[in-house]
Amino acid sequence: MNYAMSIDNEQEDLKAQLKMKTASLDTKVNELGKMLSESKKLVKLEMEQESWKSFRIDDMR
């Protein structure tokens, strides 16, 4: 019985670690999304629309 409780506790610890890592990943993905959005805005403001494709921006004005 003690072994089962030990394994259960380990599983709960791993779940908590996974939850923290997932939250960290979500934060980083959101940061990168904001950076991408800001970069697109700068390209659109500073470059001619014809050159947007070289930055892999397929948007229309």
- Tens digit of pLDDT for each residue in 3-59? 999 999 999 999 999 999 999 999 999 999 999 999 999 999 999 998 999 988 987
Helix (H) or strand (E) holding 9: helix 2-46
Dig out the tokens for 22 from the structure.
């997932």
pTM of the complete model: 0.72
pLDDT of residue 61: 59
- Tell me whether residue 19 is in a domain: yes
User: What's the rounded Cα separation, in Å, for the pair 35 and 47?
Assistant: 18
Check the CA dihedral 52-57-60-61 and report its sign: negative
The number of domains in the chain is 1
CB 44 within 8 A of CB 61: yes
Dig out the tokens for 8 from the structure.
């259960």
Range of the domain at 10: 2-55
